[in-house]
Every structure is written in C-alpha cells, then in structure tokens.
Amino acid sequence: MPVGFVTLREEPVTLTTELPGRTAAFETSEVRPQVNGLVRARLFTEGDFVRQGQPLYRIDPAPYEAQVASARAALARARAGIASNAALARRYGELVKLNAISRQEYENALTASNQAQADVAAQNAALRTAQIDLARTTVTAPISGRIGRSTFTTGALVSAAQAEPLATIQRLDPVYVDIQQSSADLLRLREQIVAGSLSRGGGAARVRLRLETGSVYPQEGMLRFADVTVDPATGSQTIRALFTNPNGLLLPGMFVRAELVEGVQGRAILVPQRAVTRDERGRATVMVIGRGDRAEPRVIQTNRTQGANWIVTGGVLPGDRVIVEGAMMLRPGMPVRGRPWSDKPAATAPAPAGQAK
C-alpha cells in the first residue's frame, strides 16, 4: 500500500493564542464648565481634531467682568488705606517716646497699619480669583484629540457642578486594546516558563489584530501590562496592548480578536492534524511506519494546536515516520511503501519543447 509520511523532529515553535478584545482610547477627557452662566458660542465643529488649549465654548463673561472690576476697586481702596495708617503709626511712634500719648494708642495705630497691609494682600487674592473665573468663561480643550458631539447648544445654562459634560475628547493615536484571558491559562504559562519548557522570546510582547470584517490590522502592537486582579465573576484577567492608529481605523469600543505571542517552546514535536484520528475510546491515534515497513498504530498525547499541526507531548519520538496520506485504508501490520509527504502542491513540470499541448 503506498502511503505518504512525515519524519518527526524536534523544533522550536512560537506559541500564539487568539483572544477577544475591545479597543479603548489612549486618553479620554470630559469637557466641563468651571463657572456658571449662559453658553454664548460654540467654537468648534463636532468630530474635528482639537488641540490642547484650543477654545471650545464661550460662557457669558459679563458677571465675571463686573467681579474683576469690583475686586480692582477694593484693592485700590485697601492700598489707599496703607499710606494713612502707616503715617499715623510713625507719628505715634515719635509721640510715645515723649510720653505725649499712651502706649495703648500707639499699639492701636500700629495694629491698624498691619491690618491695612493684610487687607491689600486679601484684595489681591480676591482680584486673582475673579480673574481666574473670568478666564474660565472661555472653555478650552484639556487634551488634544478627536472631539465628539456637543451635548449643550448656544443659549444653554451651564453650571460648575453639573454632572453631564459639554463634550468628550478622545485621543485615538495610539489606542489601547483590552484583552480578556483566562487566569488559568496565564498561570499555566507562568508554570511552563518557570519549569523551562517555555521561554519568552524577543517577540513575546508582539500582538496582531483581526478586525470585525476578518481582515488583519496592518500595524503590530505591543503588550503593556496584565492586570494584577482576577475578575471573580469570569475568572479572567485583563491584558492591555498598545497599537498605533495613524489612519484612525480603530475606534473606541470596537470588537477585535488579538493574536498574542505567548512564548517559544524550544523542543516541540509537530504532527499534521490530518494524520490524527480518534479511536473508540476517544484517544488521539496515528499510524507510523514501524519495523519491516509495516503500519503500526500509536496513541499520542497532545496539549494544543499550532496552525495545521498538533503539538505532541507523548506517544511518538523524533525520527518516527507518521503516515499522513493513505492511513484510512490501513490495518495494523499491513506492509506499506512510504514516500515523503508535503502539504505544498507539487509543481507541474513544463511540457517538452515541440510537444503539442
């Protein structure tokens, strides 16, 4: 019986896993008013890219301009009181030396002079507060990014204590992808790394994305961290990856599938999946070419797939010839004539020159 076989050998294999995830903005900032008043103007177009410090809304400044003017007047009045109180304190200082006035009157004048200086400092602070409130009537962008829809229009009354933001800005380049992985799988990987059967290669932090349409995202991402807390409801941990997003293809909240490079298994034995069958007890079995070129069944142990192959942990050894093609017609002990098998299609030989097609 002619059969096709592959000769097993140990080779390093990069282990990957595909997990669901959601995209999230790199930075998110809710634009909120810090003063009360009526919105006089909206200074941006919804959906545009805005830069940090760019004016977005203008709140009616008239009440705050009046507060600034009042604070300036109070400051001027306090400064005017300094000169007269300081002069009185100096005169009383000379008179108390001559015993022309009582010591109590001098101390009262000195206290009044110090209070006048303190009033100037307090009015300076009040003026600064009024100026800050006036500046806040122009609401600016706290970060650079893409701004969403405006929840308030011109003429709306807003307050510093309101719960709803005026708009939301999101920075979309780069973006995060939050991936959920079973804590048991992460624990198994750590145990394998500690045992030495798995190593973290130089590309262990790489992540590839598959979008909802089935296409592969052209940019590779990098793992940032794994959450230190396991969700008790799902038994999973959140892994966060960072991707560049220069064209804005990834938007917050999109569902994606992430392919993570877990590590490198240095001495793995791969068996094509098409060579593996199940016996009546559900065990994975293969046919190998044994002694005397006869078919010999083997029960194998596998732990996971990698591409079109099973990663085999027992039952076969390096150098064994596993039958891939023609095994369905074999019975144990049948003589076979083997030839190397390849999953690549054979190239068609060109026709000799002059031969009719």
Residues 255 and 179 in one domain: yes
| Residue 57 covered by a domain | no
Query: Does the residue 143 lie in any domain?
Result: no
The answer as to whether 356 is a domain residue is no
Task: Answer yes or no: are the C-beta atoms of 38 and 155 closer than 8 Å.
Answer: yes
At 298-317, the pLDDT tens digits run 898 887 777 788 888 888 88
> What's the pTM?
0.64
Instruction: Kindly report, residue by residue over 117-156, the tens digit of the pLDDT.
Output: 788 888 889 999 999 999 999 999 999 999 999 999 899 9
Distance from the Cα of residue 37 to its chain's centroid: 37
Do both 261 and 278 map to the same domain? no
Q: Where are the alpha helices (DSSP H) in 52-102?
A: 62-97
Domain final position from 266, 287, 316: 266
Per-residue pLDDT, averaged over 337-347, amounts to 70
CATH of the domain at 70: 1.10.287.470
Tell me, yes or no, whether 119 and 109 share the same domain. yes
3-state secondary structure of 50: strand
254 in the same domain as 204: yes
Is residue 206 within 8 A of residue 221, CB to CB? The reply is yes
Model confidence at 350: pLDDT above 70:
no
DSSP 213-244: TSPBPSS-EEEEEE-SS--TTT-EEEEEEEE-
CA gap 176, 22 in Å, rounded: 8
- Provide φ and ψ at 225, rounded to 5°: -165, 160
Residue 156 lies in a domain: no
Question: What range defines the domain where residue 259 resides?
Answer: 14-25+174-266
CATH of the domain at 325: 2.40.420.20
Distance CA 269, CA 42 (A): 65
Boundary residue ending a domain (84, 110, 135)? 135
Return the residue matching tokens 């006035």. Answer: 101
